[in-house]
Amino acid sequence: MQHNQVFNGLSRRELLSLIGITAGSAVMYQAMTSLGLAEESGYKGPLKLDGDPKGASVLILGAGLAGMTAALEMRQAGYKVQILEFNDRAGGRNWTLRGGDTYTELGGETQTCEFDEGMYLNPGPWRIPYHHNGLLAYCKRLGVALEPFQQLNHNAFLHSSKAFGGKPQRVRHIKTDFRGHVSELLAKVTQKSQLESSVTKEDQEILLEALKSWGALDADYGYRAGHLTSEYRGFEKDPGGGLGAAPVAGEPIGLPDILNSRLWGNLANYALYEFQTTMFQPVGGIDMIGKAFAREVGDLIKYNAKVSKIEQNDTGVTVTYEDTKNPGTPQQASADWCICTIPLTILSQIEINVGAPMQAAIEAVPYASSVKVGLQFKRRFWEEDDLIFGGVSYTDLPIAQISYPSTDFNKGGKGVLLGCYTWNGPNSYEFTSMSPAERVRLAVEYGSQIHPQYKDEFETGIAVAWHRVPFTLGCAGDWTEEARKEHYDNLCQIDGRIVLAGEHASYIPAWMEGAILSSLDAVSRLHQRVLAG
């Protein structure tokens, strides 16, 4: 009866939209593609720079992945290469914080990471989709060891402070029960021949069989508590051995409760193309990628170089910079060509003589706000108490999500959670306005509503708000469709002797793959310009 009442309140379009969420990522992928967020990698294999550049020189601004990719390929092709880097390390946003590291954000707050040895937080990128072929190719080429990253864990939590009395629900319960209830509704529609006439009777029979299998429906196409549904959602009491070992079926959550909780919306986070298995992470921290690049091109990098002016004429490019460790005396570096990978938030504040279209493009792209908080605990209670081994839990609390480490499973001892990861919106800005200590405190307070063990087990934490990170002033380029139409091509053009690269110059913003692909494209086009000249 409840099912019929729910169905009567939904249009066919709404029902099929709900099916789309539970069925997979196709609908969401199409929507994201239109926004330029889910394009497939355009990597076509190793770059081939044929032809002799005849000793041409190139100055690269920024030793992030885009800059070091360009340096690696151009030196191999015969160019004279030098890199200016603002930080005292390579990698840019490819960055890992470990015990003993210090970090000072805008405003002067300095944090010292107090994690135990082997523990770390990746403040920026932290996972690699299986289809980011360019990044994977460089990891293989540079010997970066990878391991699986768990995005979907059916035993992780979906949490709403406004539903189920604030009690977290297992992903497998919401996912299976939602799918089962929707399957039952669609089966009823199919049985009544209420689908469009284009669906033949034979197709309807096949669809009913598919729904029975997909939704764990019984012989009457009902989604009810029993052994079958428990095989998908888990048992109230698991099968055991010996006397009293018979399992007890779990009771499904009612469809109205699931719909009203809005927890079904989080299921899309597991279905998105960029989060589908298999995902990877470097063994030991994301900065293993940056360090591998630096082993190849580190001798070309001048660190602590703060660029203040970029000039070009018909014969070359001259960059004025200051040594941040010994400020006061401007220095200059020159080359025939320049590849600039400085984030647009910074570049827009630097004097650069490029044409009006590129200058407008540089100034047109805001950067997303994001905050990450790493929390170290005395023991891995998420594994020991909750049987959560890797994966991500989502919540409507300001911390947004909790990610569990995909390493050292079942080892015991201490562990570090990603205890907060916000992306744009009021929560990101509010966390950014706080002191680092306050961000950590609130991450523990909010997280304890999902894991009560937090307050007893917490030891130390560190927080990074990207709008306060001096070398980026934001997390990643936050393009709109309108901005892309007007400015994207202008941003990517070769303007005289200058070309830009970085994740902001890609259709895969905020991903390392975008940085690498934009760099390869810039290098290839610049090489052709050099040969033509």
Is residue 453 predicted with pLDDT exceeding 80? yes
For the record, the structure tokens of 298 come out as 């580190």
Mean pLDDT of 301-325: 98
Element (H, E) at 294: helix 287-297
Give the pLDDT score at 199: 73
- Say whether 73 sits in a helix, a strand or coil: helix
Give the pLDDT score at 45: 84
Confidence of residue 197 (pLDDT cuts 50, 70, 90): low
Is residue 27 predicted with pLDDT exceeding 90? no
Rounded CA gap, 370 and 227, in Å? Answer: 43
* Residue 331 DSSP one-character state: E
Evaluate the omega torsion of the peptide bond into residue 278 and state whether it is cis, within 30 degrees of 0: yes
pLDDT digits (tens, 9 = 90+) for 362-386: 999 999 999 999 999 999 999 999 9
Give the pLDDT score at 4: 37
Mean pLDDT of 448-474: 98
Is residue 6 predicted with pLDDT exceeding 50? no
For the chain, give the percent of residues with pLDDT over 70: 92
Give the pLDDT score at 8: 38
Between the alpha carbon of residue 272 and those of residues 22, 276, 336, 411, the distances in Å are 11, 6, 43, 31
pLDDT digits (tens, 9 = 90+) for 208-244: 999 999 999 999 999 999 999 999 999 999 899 998 9
Residue 496 Ramachandran class (φ > 0 left, ψ -120 to 50 alpha, else beta): left
Between the alpha carbon of residue 90 and those of residues 329, 430, 513, the distances in Å are 23, 30, 17
Is residue 5 predicted with pLDDT exceeding 80? no
- Give the chain's mean pLDDT: 92
Give the pLDDT score at 356: 98
Rounded CA gap, 189 and 459, in Å? Answer: 54
Mean pLDDT of 10-24: 44
Between the alpha carbon of residue 159 and those of residues 169, 395, 447, 509, the distances in Å are 6, 4, 11, 28
The DSSP result for 122-160, as a single string, is -SS---B-TT-HHHHHHHHHHT--EEEE----TTSEEE-
Element (H, E) at 81: strand 80-84
For the record, the structure tokens of 67 come out as 């800059």
pLDDT digits (tens, 9 = 90+) for 78-115: 999 999 999 999 999 999 999 999 999 999 999 999 99
Tokens 């792209």 found at = 365
Rounded CA gap, 158 and 154, in Å? Answer: 10
pLDDT digits (tens, 9 = 90+) for 466-500: 999 999 999 999 999 999 999 999 999 999 999 99
Confidence of residue 202 (pLDDT cuts 50, 70, 90): confident
Give the pLDDT score at 190: 86
Helices (H), 298-380: 344-347, 356-364
Is residue 2 predicted with pLDDT exceeding 60? no
Is residue 37 predicted with pLDDT exceeding 80? no
Q: Are 32 and 38 in contact (CB under 8 A)?
A: yes
What residue type is 132 in one-letter code?
H
Beta bridge partners of 498: 338, 495
| Structural domains present in the chain | 2-34+161-261 (1.20.1440.240), 57-92+292-365+479-532 (3.50.50.60), 97-155+278-285+368-468 (3.90.660.10)
Between the alpha carbon of residue 492 and those of residues 50, 247, 339, 506, the distances in Å are 22, 61, 11, 9
Rounded CA gap, 149 and 285, in Å? Answer: 12
Rounded CA gap, 528 and 532, in Å? Answer: 6
Give the pLDDT score at 12: 40
The upper half-sphere exposure of residue 280, i.e. CA atoms within 13 Å in the direction of its Cβ, equals: 20
Give the pLDDT score at 198: 64
Rounded CA gap, 229 and 127, in Å? Answer: 33
Tell which wins on pLDDT, 244 or 19: 244
Rounded CA gap, 374 and 415, in Å? Answer: 10
Q: pTM for the full model?
A: 0.90
Confidence of residue 29 (pLDDT cuts 50, 70, 90): very low
Mean pLDDT of 3-13: 39
280-281-283-287 Cα dihedral, nearest 10 degrees = 150
Q: Are 122 and 417 in contact (CB under 8 A)?
A: no
- Say whether 444 sits in a helix, a strand or coil: helix
Round the CA-based radius of gyration of the chain to a whole number and report it.
26
Element (H, E) at 459: strand 458-465
Mean pLDDT of 171-189: 95
Is residue 9 predicted with pLDDT exceeding 70? no
Give the pLDDT score at 483: 97
Element (H, E) at 232: helix 227-233
Confidence of residue 41 (pLDDT cuts 50, 70, 90): confident
